[in-house]
Amino acid sequence: VSRALSGRGPVGTETRRRVEAAAHRLHYQPSAAARSLRTERTLIVGVLVPDLGNPVFVPFLRAVQRVAQASDYAVMVVDAQRSPAVERRALDRLTAQGVDALILAGPARDDANLDGLRRAGCLVMDDTDTGASPRRALALAERPASRAVCDALAALGHRRIGFVSRRAATGESGRRRWQALRAGAAPQGMALERLVLSDGDDPEGTGAALDAVVRRADPVTALVCAAHDLAPVVLRGLGSAGIEVPDECSVVTYGDSDWAAAFRPALSVVTLDLDEAGLAVTDVVVRRLAGERSAAAPLAPARFVRRASIGPAPGSVASATRRER
Amino acid sequence: VSRALSGRGPVGTETRRRVEAAAHRLHYQPSAAARSLRTERTLIVGVLVPDLGNPVFVPFLRAVQRVAQASDYAVMVVDAQRSPAVERRALDRLTAQGVDALILAGPARDDANLDGLRRAGCLVMDDTDTGASPRRALALAERPASRAVCDALAALGHRRIGFVSRRAATGESGRRRWQALRAGAAPQGMALERLVLSDGDDPEGTGAALDAVVRRADPVTALVCAAHDLAPVVLRGLGSAGIEVPDECSVVTYGDSDWAAAFRPALSVVTLDLDEAGLAVTDVVVRRLAGERSAAAPLAPARFVRRASIGPAPGSVASATRRER
DNA sequence: CTGAAAGCGCTTACAG
DNA sequence: CTGAAAGCGCTTACAG
């Protein structure tokens, strides 16, 4: 009947107008299921988020949403909840659903979980891809800023800095940051030490652990938080132990927010616009799905924002000079 | 062929086992599109988030994800980006997609945008519903805590408190909170004043605006932030103006986080477990879709968590007593 | 330019 | 207990 009418086809303008009017009046909505069955396209893109509890993924997800919706794609979110099994199950659902593309907001918990999608011909944006991948792009974008952190701390006389994470086996981004800091600390002759917080978020416990490291002989004089959500935990711990920032210990964290800036002293951060990353990847995805051979947009590098939370290492020359004034 | 085999039906155990093995080996995934076309069920639930930029929705979304995924539903997220037009378009996509249910994380920008879904027989969880709706449930759950804020401030000698929001015309939750605070302030004889921050997040500008209110004759001696993300903005403003918390001005905010607790002085908050709300609603949705006539789980009321950011009103009796010590 | 038919992959009745 | 057929709503060729 009104087959070509709703799309394009050889139809008189008047006829088309009338058909469209009727369709609107009757609230006609073409069935996505039927269309997908026929066209083998679903107009759905999936997003794999390793952990929705981690706020860094939210701007990313938001950007994906914005771009996808603007191009008339719907978005299916998979929250892997840090669990390979959950990830697996949800990705299988996406496979059955036949999403046109899957965007990785971070590395998959288990890479094999992506096989089903790949086999089904789904466009999976990840490392093996052109660099449009958030994963590799992020690693590259963050490196210079990590180095800048090391340079700044070294210049302030710090000799030993601590890298704070929640687990010994950190995720991919934790590993990446650890390596970048190591690469930055070595040429400055700074030691980098790994500090693992225990899972109970008890401020006293955290404080005691940090106290032991900051107030021993040959102390750690600066802490770098592996992730944004770790910063308040560390700060509470320091507060609970009565350790002054930055006089006794400097603090830097990955990831920025209004809270980090509002804190007293304001927190120094390494910040990357993940919003931009999400936007770029999704744009490439939409282009590719439309048949274009689009390359990735370059991602702006992360910035090191120095604020009041870092200062001279206690006992260093810089610190002594400062006190004399 | 293997029709009933993959589901239930009169089939020998051995046959079934062999068919399932073969299906697994060939990575057979039934097509969701074809199934949906036939069954008129998509096994997809939509979530309408008024603004993904607002972090209060994240725990909610997360909970929906968790419950839905566990029940083998996929989740389609709509970020309305605070815009009725964006909302409209995305919801029309969901209608075409034929989602089985739509969960409202907050009020729709335009209620008419939901008509299409309702007409299509989609289960829409909102106010008109049994109270499983996050909207109404939230309003009820927050009221006692809002009252507790007023009681605490009045007991500390505060006579005039400011309600800080980003716009004059706040969203539904802002309105709700304003009304709850009014209802709590009136019996205590406290005045409630509305303070609107200008959109530019410039700390100096915010500071100047707050300074004008806090340091005038008949000053506002306590600020209540309408939303969690407003708190750091207010705190930076106060810091920039050199206003001491809580000595010159007490601060309370809606919404809790590790950051709020880590701040010095620690922020007093009204906190509601939105995670729990998301969990409850989704649970009801899944039950209903399975044909059960499930009622809403009751939502635990919000709590007022008093921390160091509130203190006696400057110049009040309580404040004088404190100073003498 | 327009109508009628085939077929996407599933499920659900119905016939053997 | 098992096989063959009808039909969900669309799109895309093909016949008139």
pLDDT in tens, B119-177: 999 999 875 454 445 667 777 889 999 999 999 999 999 999 999 998 776 777 888 89
Q: Among A165-179, B224-238, B303-317, whose mean pLDDT is lowest?
A: A165-179
Rounded to two decimals, the pTM is 0.82
Q: Gap from A99 CA to D10 C1', in Å? A: 18
Of the candidates B71, B47, B72, B70, which has an alpha carbon nearest to the alpha carbon of residue B58? B47
Q: What is the pLDDT of residues A244-261, one digit of tens each?
A: 999 999 999 999 989 999
Q: Check residue A325 and give its pLDDT.
A: 46
Return all residues near B70 (Cβ < 8 A) that are at least 6 apart. none
> CA at B85, C1' at C3: how many angstroms apart?
38
CB proximity B293–strand C (7 Å threshold): no
- Through-space separation of residue A37 CA and nucleotide C10 C1' in angstroms: 10
Q: What is the pLDDT of residue A135?
A: 65
Outline where B133-229 has alpha helix (H).
134-155, 172-185, 203-214
Q: Phi first, then psi: give them for residue B162, nearest 5 degrees.
A: -110, 140
* A to B CB pairs, distance under 8 Å: 158
pLDDT of residue B10: 58
Scan for tokens 């964006």, then name that residue.
B86
The region that residue A49 occupies, defined by phi over 0 for left and psi between -120 and 50 for alpha, beta otherwise, is beta
Strand ranges (E), chain B: 44-49, 74-79, 101-104, 123-125, 160-165, 191-196, 222-225, 250-254, 268-271, 303-305
As ranges, strand C nucleotides with an atom below 7 A of a protein CB are: 1-5, 7-13
Rounded Cα distance between B125 and B296, Å, is 11
The count of other CB atoms within 10 Å of the CB of residue A251 is: 28
Q: What is the pLDDT of residue B299?
A: 76
Write the CB contacts of A21 (distance below 8 Å, at least 6 apart in sequence). Answer: none
Residues B309 and B222: their CA atoms lie apart, in Å, by 10
* pLDDT score, position A130: 47
Tens digits of residue pLDDT in B50-100: 888 877 788 999 999 999 999 999 999 999 998 999 999 999 999 999 999
Calpha distance A292→A315 (Å, rounded): 60
Q: pLDDT tens digits, residue range B233-263?
A: 999 999 999 999 999 999 999 999 899 999 9
C-alpha A175: how far from chain center: 14
pLDDT recorded at residue A277: 84
Q: Rounded distance, CA A88 to CA A80, Å?
A: 8
Q: Which residue of B has its CA nearest to A87?
A: B69
Residue–nucleotide distance: A268 CA to D7 C1' (Å):
64
Query: Under an 8 A CB cutoff, do B37 and A34 touch?
Result: yes
| Binding-face residues of B in 181-220 toward A, CB within 8 A | 201
Q: A104 and chain B: CB distance < 8 Å anywhere? A: no
Regions of chain A with pLDDT less than 70: 1-16, 19, 127-135, 169, 201, 296-297, 317-325
DSSP line for A222-291: EEEESSTTHHHHHHHHHHHHT--TTTT-EEEEES--HHHHHSSSPPEEEE--HHHHHHHHHHHHHHHHTT
- CB < 8 Å to A233, chain B: 258, 262
In chain A, how long is the greatest CA-to-CA distance? 89
B29 contacts A96? CB cut-off 8 A: yes
Helix locations, B186-229, DSSP H: 203-214
A107/A126 Cα distance (integer angstroms): 8
End-to-end CA distance of chain B: 87
Q: How far is A75 from chain B (nearest CA, A)?
A: 6
Q: What is the pLDDT of residue B16?
A: 66
Name which of B269, B268, B312 is nearest B158 in CA terms. B312
pLDDT in tens, B26-61: 888 889 999 999 999 999 999 999 888 877 788 999
**Interface-testing mutation among B42, B43, B49, B65, with chain A (most A C-beta atoms within 10 A):** B65
